[in-house]
Structure 1
Amino acid sequence: MQLQDSGVQYSRWDDSSRDEVSAAAVSSTEEASSWESSHSRFSRKLCSGKLGIAMKVLGGMAIFWAVFILGYVTGYFVHK
């Protein structure tokens, strides 16, 4: 998969003033493909199989406890 040249252009004319903004991002195919392959290997390993399930369970537990502690501390100071 190759990245296409992408760009953003904005132009506005207002009576006597003229504003122009343009930006373009161009990246080489080698950098994009190497990043894609390493990213897909990384995400495949962490998001599927037994390791993926373990990561999802641990992430869910961490979020649960963070919200629980935040609620506990908030409730303590509200009802103090």
Structure 2
Amino acid sequence: MQSQETPGVHYSRWNEQNQDEVSVNTSSTETPAWRRAYNVLCTGRIGIVMKVLGGLALFWIIFIIGYVTGYYVHKCKKG
């Protein structure tokens, strides 16, 4: 028999009244907000779009850091 804390369905064909019995146990706790946000933003089509946009943003951030670093490393000295 299942614990009361785990969600699930319990079907009992044989009981005292000789009737079928179905009981559904649902979890009393709700899914955390971070998990719902993850499911919306990181799965499906929206997840693919978010990953592509994140990759492009990361590319440009690294490009700009490299450009600025290269500018100051290779800057001609006046003097």
TM-score category, normalised to shorter length: 0.5 to 0.7
- Structure with bigger gyration radius: 2
TM-score (ref. length: structure 2):
0.55
Query: Is 1:38–2:52 an aligned residue pair?
Result: no
1:1-80 to structure 2, matched below 5 A, reads: 33-34=29-30, 36-80=31-75
Gaps of 5+ in 1: 2-29
Aligned residues with identical type, % of pairs: 53
Aligned to 1:56, what secondary structure does the other structure show?
A: helix
Q: Hey, what's the Cα distance between the residues in 1 that align with 2:67 and 2:33? A: 41
Q: Which residue of 1 aligns with 2:11?
A: none
The structure richer in helix per residue is 1
1:37 deviates by 2.4
Aligned length, in residue pairs: 49
Q: Hey, what's the Cα distance between the residues in 1 that align with 2:71 and 2:32? A: 48
TM-score (ref. length: structure 1):
0.54
1:72 deviates by 0.4
